Structure 1
Amino acid sequence: MNSQQQPNQNFIENINGVEVEMLHIPDGAFMMGASEIERGSRNSERPQHRVTVPAFFMGKYPVTQTQWRAITSLPEVSRELKSDPSRFKGKNRPVEGISWFDAVEFCQRLSLYTNKNYRLPSEAEWEYACRAGTTTPFHFGMTMITSTANYRSTDRQKFKLSGLSSDREPEKAYHKGTTNVGSFGVANSFGLYDMHGNVWEWCEDRWHENYYGAPTDGGAWSDYKNKKNRRRLLRGGSWLNYSEHCRCAYRNFYDPEVNFINIGLRLACNL
């Protein structure tokens, strides 16, 4: 077990020879959510509100299948984990087919091994990190094309109407599954890859229908007293989703036991 600290505060976690790159996300404030005029936006993404986010670390990529296998070999905390849950096999492809509870167990095992506080990001941290100072629907601009992300690029008419993606994308550009992390070479200004598409990423928060009453300190909106509110947040879209579902502001949810073939995770860590 060792961590390699780098001058810019990024570090590399080494788990039995498998590396996990963690990037320093600086503190800052941003407008969370989408405006009324953003194409493809929904009422669940409003009202826009200012959130102040303390600095933290975030995985450069979604967790890969190699990283998943290395960390699931660590001692169990409270839940068994499959070492190879993914349908789309590949050592550098993101792990998928994992539930929210699986993702939490994964973070707990890594935390015990490294003596650091690894966890799922809050929804606010995720959007802040994804935007990286931008205000457009995607961190790379107003529209998405198949050279910038892995998403469902087949419905040309939907693209044309939404204005969020090109209506000239070839059918063969749709991958119909996950791709190696970092394949598209489009990192945001924080250095993060695959924030749009590839796999959905679990967040710590429980689902709420809109942002009325949402925290503004960057923390998770947990709402543990409401026992009926089991649904957890996902962000980022996936290979199976259209461009409008991959926007910075788009919010999705599932029951925490769901483990679909387009759901993965990205690590966060406290300073």
Structure 2
Amino acid sequence: MPLSPGRAIVLATALAVAAVPAPSPPRTWVEPVTGMPFVSIPAGTFEMGSPEREAGREPQERAHAVTLTRPFWIGAHEVTQAQWRTVMGTAPSHFRGDDLPVERVSWHDVQAFVARLSALSPGPRFRLPTEAEWEYACRAGSRTAYAWGDTLSLEEANVAVLERGALGGRRRTTPVATFRPNAWGLYDMHGNVWEWTEDAHCAYGTAPARDPVGRCNAATKVIRGGSWYFAADSARCGLRYTHRPKDVGFSLGVRVVRDVG
């Protein structure tokens, strides 16, 4: 059964970006076909990428100013298996459970999902988040490695512990919204399953950007957020990872957004 709803800006200088204040409480909406809860995200400007001082930072995470000119709705949590089955009539996941996140879905699969959901649910279209939208929502006004600070514990997210080549931690997905949300009311932005974005894996520019979408001729798509199968450093807000759009895996899922009408 679908989950209940309960589980359910401006540049300061050329070198500094004003933090976006977290709405309190967040404005929410529940999609009636699936029961999927959404949170309203305001337009704003933020610093995308990671500061040079951040542990684990990679060159492709170069910090730069990004402005999102339109508000959007984003899923309060990852798409569950029950919600996927309601829309697609299939059960592709390795781990089974209605309130577990759907996984083993490709970028092409999730494009079919949002198209079908858009047809079932009248109003503005559903789609994948852009890479910029995803990071903006994940940070929720923060500038640290994770939404709550520069460290991430097993009590805060479903991530792996890798020691001497062995996989530790929970070793599987957990029900969505198990852990506390970020300041904007979003669950599992760190860990559980990787989340597809709309973007191809393009290099960041150096100039401020407005509503960027990766449209380069790259063979891979960007995924974000880390997973139960990867260590905490892979779940940093600014980390970029990739897969081919045809790939599936037991730690690869999706969170969707909806345009504001």
State the TM-score bracket (shorter-chain normalisation): 0.7 to 0.9
Corresponding residue for 2:169? 174
The percentage of aligned residue pairs carrying the same residue is 39
* 2:32/2:121 contact within 8 Å kept: no
Separation (CA, whole Å) in 2 of partners of 1:176 and 1:8:
32
Query: What is the TM-score of this pair, normalised by structure 2?
Result: 0.85
1:256 deviates by 0.2
Separation (CA, whole Å) in 2 of partners of 1:56 and 1:255:
26
Corresponding residue for 2:32? 14
Query: What is the TM-score of this pair, normalised by structure 1?
Result: 0.82
Residue ranges of structure 1 left out of the alignment (5+ in a row): 74-82, 159-170
Tell me: CA distance 1:62–1:202, structure 2 relative to 1, closer, same or farther (3 Å): same
Choose from 83, 93, 101 the match for 1:94: 101
Separation (CA, whole Å) in 2 of partners of 1:215 and 1:101:
30
Pairing 1:70-81 to 2, within 5 Å after superposition: 70-73=86-89
Count of matched residue pairs: 235
Corresponding residue for 2:184? 190
Tell me: CA distance 1:202–1:177, structure 2 relative to 1, closer, same or farther (3 Å): same
* 1:32/1:49 contact within 8 Å kept: yes
1:219 deviates by 3.4
Verify: 1:268 aligned to 2:261, yes or no: no
Verify: 1:139 aligned to 2:147, yes or no: yes
Q: Which amino acid aligns with 1:11?
A: W
Pairing 1:14-163 to 2, within 5 Å after superposition: 14-15=32-33, 18-46=34-62, 48-53=63-68, 54-73=70-89, 83-115=90-122, 116-155=124-163
Separation (CA, whole Å) in 2 of partners of 1:190 and 1:258:
30
* 1:199/1:238 contact within 8 Å kept: yes
1:243 deviates by 1.1
Q: Which piece of structure 1 moves more, 231-240 or 146-155?
A: 146-155
Residue ranges of structure 2 left out of the alignment (5+ in a row): 6-24
Q: Secondary structure at the match of 2:86?
A: helix
Q: Secondary structure at the match of 1:14?
A: coil
Corresponding residue for 2:236? 247
1:172 deviates by 10
Calculate the aligned-residue CA RMSD, in Å.
Answer: 2.1
* 2:222/2:243 contact within 8 Å kept: yes
Q: Secondary structure at the match of 2:249?
A: coil
